[in-house]
Chains A and B, each alone.
Chain A
Amino acid sequence: MSIRHPKTHLHRTWASAYAAAVCALLVATSVADLANAADGPPVSPRGNVAPPVQFLNDVVPLLTRLHCNSGGCHGKATGQNGFKLSLLGFEPDFDYAALVSEARGRRLFPADPNQSLLLTKATGVVPHGGGRRLDTDSDDYRMLRDWIAAGAPAPRPDDPRLVRLELEPKRGELQRNSQRQLRVTAHFSDGTNRDVTRQSVYVSNVPEVADVDDSGLITTQPRVGLFAVMVRFGDQLGAYYGAVPRGDTAPTNAVKGPAEMSKIDHHLLAGWNRLGIAPSPPADDAAFIRRASLDICGTLPTADEVTSYLNDTQADKRKRLVDRLLNRPEYATYFALKWADILQNRGRGYSTSKQRPGTTLFSAWIRDSIATNKPYDQFAAEILTASGSQQQNPPAIWYRSVRTQQDYVESVAQAFLGVRIQCAQCHHHPAEFWSQADYYGLAAVFSRVGRKGGFTDAEVPTNEIIYLKQAGEVRHPRTGKVLGPRPLGGPDFDLSPYDDPRQAFARWMTAPENPFFARTMANRLWGHFMGRGIIHPIDDARSTNPPSNPELLDELAREFVKSRYDIKHLIRLITTSSAYGLSSVPNESNSDDLQSFARFYPRRLSAEVLLDGISQVLEVPTQFSGGPGIFPPGTRAIGLPDENVPMNFLDVFGRPARTSACECERSDARRWRKRWNW
């Protein structure tokens, strides 16, 4: 089961601080611990005497469990037949008003609770579009009835609040085609706890490996792999992390790693052993130089380069090759192309001749930053805090394509923090902790981005001046409250009216302890080289989409921070890892693996690299039509300033339109039907 947005398929579900916290926990937990946890004691049933029914902790979770407040029913933005609840019960005050006060109070009838519309609808006594949800003799029915009979007490400030969920077990290994029951305990602020297994909602992220039913019973499938089950009760989330190893064919710890094991290799090996998957053998040198040249420089190696590499007999030849490639200008050019996609350096508009100086300037700035190995924290901060004339300060051109509150939040979250927070624009994120306050608090960081000057005869204005406006406020769309600038997860920044909130945000984001920043880049680069992120998709970290190898991701992130955000260092770590050097030919144990990097996952060349490769092999440079100038001879597709250089080949092979910060915009599916006219 996957979480779908009620309104649009474009809407995706997302990541969290929680994922980070869970990952941190996992780092401290060895594989052996996981095995032990799998056989932990069963959760004790509810031990406390039942307290009076509480709206917050009893009624709302029940509405969630019965799907009353789901996106398809009363939880959608317009409600259902005049009855609207907050999506998944994240706003209990709103729900209380809807049940008790709205519609002249006709939904509840305390004098004869059984005649309450809420109950007669739910039991199907009165026709209900949602069908029969409750039996009159069920506990749930009785609980609702008792609550109504007690006068539908409102949540009180001193009501115990749900503090956290405890899962039992938290993680574990499961045999293929086996079952495991999850137990969920809710802990409250008054120190009490109770079993809410039956009241919780469960979702698996890889149902092909393990599915979960409404009662929290996990059923593994014949496939090997890792999975996570998200558990939600009230406004709290929990996750169970499971592994389904092969078990039968590859005994645990049987796989041997390379002779010299780096930390990265250790974590990879642990991952393989955990699932009982054997890695493919190392790729041969010819494959490796081709792979590394294409991945680092977006460029095919020449015959001479290949020959001299093959003839090199020294042990550190791969390392030296990587260093050589990282020092080539093509490295900067190729990664600048990638970043120009993410940073939406878009040339499309009415007047290319007037947009091109800007896109050229920005792409050149990105390329220079990469060529000089500008620390990644500085690179990101310079973009986010960019100010001044777009004619003179290239990173300010980021604000040309990124113009609205929505653009700011989503681009920053996706590009630098690796989370998709879009859902929280309209409602509390269903699979994460992100609330609307988080979304609009982040929007408030950019609320004082002012624009002036520029000319507007193009689709988007060009040559604007980005400056710090005197005022600009963001209001919570539901409460109307003015929200101060705050980072994801809060609290608000402490700022004077003369401070630029973006600078505070940049400091928070690039701090070594930031849970998102370094990990996102580590994952992004891992995804670039391995064809798949440790969290996949790379910008969609969330507790329902955990990293396939948290220790590996943490190790990479830690190294990245330790090296002061040295991107080349991170690339060296990845490209000299044993996984990157593996053959892409699968063996019997890893053929359907897409999580543990036990073989190199083959992929198609990207549009620009493919075109340049063809030009290189045929020794016929591509002529790109420029405008207003002429691209000098030898200009390569990876070096084009923006996506608005007409070239059908590139469009057919998936050149993105640069309309979002998502790398998923670059398609490796061919667009033959649309573009097959070259």
Chain B
Amino acid sequence: MDSSHSNRIVPAQRHSTIDGLGGLGATGVSPVRRGRHWRHASGTRQQRIKSTLKSLTSCLTAVAWLVALAFSSPVLAQPNPTLSSVFPPGGRAGTSVELTVAGSGLAKLTTLHCSSAELTFEKTGTNRVRINIPPQTPPGCYDLRAMCVDGLSSPRAFIIGTREELLEAEPNESIKTATSVPLNAVVNGRIEKKGDIDQLRFVAKQGQHIVVECQAERIDSQLRAVLEVYDSSGKRLAVNRGYFGIDPLIHFRVPADGSYIVKVFDLIYGGGADYSYRLSIGNTPRVIFSHPAVIQTGKTTRVTLYGWNLTTKIPPAQASIAGSAATVDNSFDHIEIDVTPPADEGSQRVRLQSNQLAVDGFAFHFPGSDEPIQIGVTDVPVVRDQSANYAPDAAQSLSIPCEVSGQLIDGDERDWYAIDARRGEVLWLEGFAARIGAPMDLDISVLDSSGKRELARFRDEVKNIGGNSFPTAHLDPAGRWVAPANGRYLILVRNLIGDLSRDARRIYRLSVRREEPDFHLALVDHPGTPAALNVRRGGRTTVDVLAFRSRGMTGTIRVSAKNLPPGIQCPDVYLGPGINRAPLTLSATDSAEALIHNLQLVGHSKPVGGWDQEATVTAQQPHGRKVRGGTVIRTGAPNGSARLTSEIPFAVTAEAPLRITADGNETRSHDLYGEMKVRHSPGGILDVAVQIDRRDVSFQAPVQLVGVGLPALIRHQAATIPAGQSKGYVSFHLPPTLPVGRYTIAVKAVTTVPADKAKGKPQSVTVFSNPVTFDVQPAAFVVEIDADAPKQIGRGKVLQVKYSARRINGFIGKIHTELTAPEKVIGLRGRGVTFVGQTDSGNIQIIANTDAPLGQQPFVRFYAIGVVEDQPVFHGSCFLNLEIIE
């Protein structure tokens, strides 16, 4: 159906409902209202009904077509496989488990991919795969992805544990039908429909300390779980609705031998296929956190682990229900243990949210427990808070740099520290609490030595550089402080969301360091929806790199790939001064093998010798910063979330329909100076040449180009390559305020490819170019056009435009000016002048021939070339914004 059809139908329907118009709709059947009475314009009753139905059908078809059109024009031509659940969501090391996967775009599932390479898979059904977990696999959280005909899917969490694993079996809604489970087993279950309640029965002995824990939000499930424990008489002993954020946990001392019931359900009685959970009931060690929460790299440190069943000495006389019921109290067992941080970060294994990127740490597994915890690492000495530092006069002295691990058990507790600083000394203070799982909103103040006068106060990091799809804001404070004079200063640490309760989990890290710039990097799904990296043979794919800058890091960061397989390119990407997001592109050659590979990316700050000193780079920063993966779990408020992934796998898939190649450093051919290499400066124009490589000669539709990943200062710009042409330009003005540095952007191209024979519809295709990296160097002059210059020129007319090339940075050389464009505009000419000595302004005469093309000429600009010893060294330009009219 063509669009004119729908145009015909829709207004007809609209007319028919307008009172008093009296006319017929196009179908001639609509009832027309006159005054207070409805009358049918013509026809018998049956005819009328038949026609009405017909009209309705046409209308519906039109609507359906429009809807189909809306959905059949995806942003990406490439289908995007998305995994919504894997069930069971976990398995025991040393076993094999058959999994069912669900999601969208999972056509022709071939295998799964796990962030741990040791796992093997065999397909057992359309959406079923058997997974073999080697016995030595360390416990923790892994990412599973589905590999389908269209590539790799977005991930879902998969937990590998050490305990026996069971599957929940319905019916189990009532106490009578409750499933019996042994202690120290994990039940993989699902609240599969709205209003579902799952009940499990276990037998325990008096005095045992039982920990009942439900993982739901932490395994990417939609379930907001409520846990309840009942005794055999039906009396509720305990309930919990959130312990790890919103995931619940109950621990209690068994009051008497007998059987107990655990109930799990959704807080608002929701349910569905994505409402899976892992529920463990046991009395083996469960570690919750460590104090200190951070240890120094390479240093064996004694830490206190907090949790339950960490010692076996439980006097039966003390057996009681912890917290008497209703809420879980915060009493813990402790155990002291020596911990050595691993030499490398290893795989992540602990689930981290998108805002936890800057928390360096490693997964630590306490022998005998089922789950690892995250312990932080730092390269500076770590000190523990002293118990007597609650007042200014008892402040604990710190030497800089250091990192403190402290605890604010009472809601209104305050920890005081003292430092000695010299006048002008710059310090960075950073707190970690919410980001290390502590239920706190930390606040840091710097006070004078009396503790009376507040000199500075550091609050939440509210910047959300990841946007809605990858939220990075958090409650932890950080900031820069300059000592106003030599002397002693106090640092006060407190909790802004303390209430009347005591909670040992209120643990924090306080980093006190000098201005040593640092950064962390993550890749985030480019479209802002769950996705994976799939690159088509002969094509490219784009993903965004996010940079979290800290401690005064403002310079350029380079991201480069390591150990790429043959046929795959991933050019370096540069995040220019202050830039925290840039597009990274992965390309595959036509002959690239179909494979899945983990992308290894490393970030470096600019070495002293400059970017081109590769040897220097490696010598100065042998490791660089590993780039972490990121993924969107869910979109939308209020439960949209994103997290980090252990690895960044990508797949090479089918052939790409077209490919574009962009070049931001194309030489310019000049009448006087020949081929010129353009030197980009603030106040100049960046021309990006775009080459379209159409795989099918019948793909000849126009291609729209738009820049992506532009620094905020650079305005967006679009251009179109006309049908049939394969080269074009998109140009960007670099504003005079753009900091000098190296930047990377990319170009997005949108076009349509002809109908697929099978589907019969033209397809909209979006592809991205290779990264365009360019250097912005200091300018010698800034080209400006008189603000009052005319914006239009008639065909056959001549225009005088005033302009200037304002000299800066002491440049006194000759400036040659001209009117130009990346692609010559036929029939439009301009004659510039040459400024010598101190001159820097003049008029240009613009002539439009009678055959000049009508319309806006977006990329026509004044171009100025600064000459040094007859060489064209400096370049500057400015768009003219000229429209050619009749």
Contacts and interface: CB of A to CB of B under 8 A. Distances in A.
Contacts of A360: 267-268
Interface stretch (A9-17, A162-170, A365-373): A365-373
A465 B239 CA distance: 23
Interface string B405-435: 0000001101000000000000000000000
Contacts, number: 112
Most buried by A among B326, B414, B499: B499
B392 to A, nearest CB: 11
Nearest to A468: B496
Nearest to B323: A372
Contacts of A506: 500
Contact of A629 (B236, B266, B325): B266
B390 to A, nearest CB: 12
Contacts of A648: none
B638 A500 contact: no
Contact of A357 (B224, B411, B500): B224
Contacts of A350: none
A371 B499 CA distance: 22
A629 B194 contact: yes
Contacts of A357: 224, 267-268
Interface in A317-356: 329, 353-354, 356
B497 A631 contact: no
Q: Give chain A's interface residue range (CB within 8 Å of chain B).
A: 35 or more
A497 B457 CA distance: 13
A208 interface: no
Interface in A611-645: 626, 628-633, 641
Given A354-B638, A463-B638, A630 B326 contact: no
B412 A391 contact: no
B246 interface: yes
Interface string B454-470: 10010010000000000
B242 interface: yes
Contacts of A450: 496
A94 interface: no
Given A354-B638, A357-B268, A503-B412, A381 B500 contact: yes
B327 interface: yes
B327 A368 contact: yes
Interface in A494-513: 497-500, 503, 506
Interface string B212-245: 0000000000001010000000001001011001
A436 to B, nearest CB: 30
Interface stretch (A254-262, A382-390, A536-544): A382-390
B753 interface: no
B325 A372 contact: yes
Contacts of A374: 326
A452 B194 contact: no
A628 B246 contact: no
A178 interface: no
A467 B462 CA distance: 15
Contact of A630 (B194, B325, B412, B496): B194
B400 to A, nearest CB: 24
Contact of A498 (B236, B269, B324, B492): B492
A387 B506 CA distance: 14
Interface string B490-511: 0010101111110000000000
B441 A356 contact: no
Given A629-B268, A631-B195, A371 B412 contact: no
Contact of B441 (A353, A369, A467, A503): A467
Interface in A259-299: none
Contacts of B441: 387-388, 465, 467
Contacts of B637: 354, 455, 457
Interface string B265-281: 11111110000000000
A393 B411 CA distance: 13
A462 B273 CA distance: 26
Contacts of B194: 626, 628-630
A466 B638 CA distance: 17
B268 A628 contact: yes
Contacts of B271: 629
B197 interface: yes
B88 interface: no
A421 interface: no
A392 B245 contact: yes
A632 B268 contact: no
A503 B324 contact: no
Contacts of B501: 382
Contact of B494 (A372, A498, A628): A498
Contacts of B439: 388, 392
A369 B323 CA distance: 12
Nearest to A383: B499
Most buried by A among B271, B325, B326: B326
A574 interface: no
A628 B270 contact: yes
A34 to B, nearest CB: 43
A361 interface: yes
A503 B268 contact: no
A534 interface: no
B497 A387 contact: yes
B475 interface: yes
A364 interface: yes
A607 to B, nearest CB: 22
A385 to B, nearest CB: 5
Most buried by A among B269, B271, B325, B411: B269
Contacts of A633: 195
Contacts of A497: 454
Contacts of B195: 626, 629-633
Given A387-B499, A630-B194, A452 B268 contact: no
A392 to B, nearest CB: 5
Most buried by A among B226, B245, B267: B267
Given A392-B246, A500-B412, A368 B497 contact: no
Interface in B169-217: 194-195, 197
Nearest to A394: B241
Given A372-B324, A629-B271, 12 more contacts: A354-B637, A364-B241, A371-B236, A372-B325, A381-B500, A387-B441, A387-B498, A387-B499, A391-B245, A506-B500, A630-B194, A632-B197
Interface of A: 329, 353-354, 356-357, 360-361, 364, 368-369, 371-372, 374, 378, 381-382, 385-389, 391-394, 450, 452, 454-455, 457, 462-463, 465-468, 470, 497-500, 503, 506, 626, 628-633, 641
Interface of B: 194-195, 197, 224, 226, 236, 239, 241-242, 245-246, 265-271, 324-327, 411-412, 414, 439, 441, 454, 457, 460, 475, 492, 494, 496-501, 637-638
20 contacts: A353-B268, A361-B241, A364-B239, A364-B241, A374-B326, A381-B500, A387-B441, A387-B496, A388-B499, A394-B241, A497-B454, A498-B414, A498-B492, A626-B268, A626-B269, A628-B270, A629-B194, A629-B270, A630-B194, A632-B269
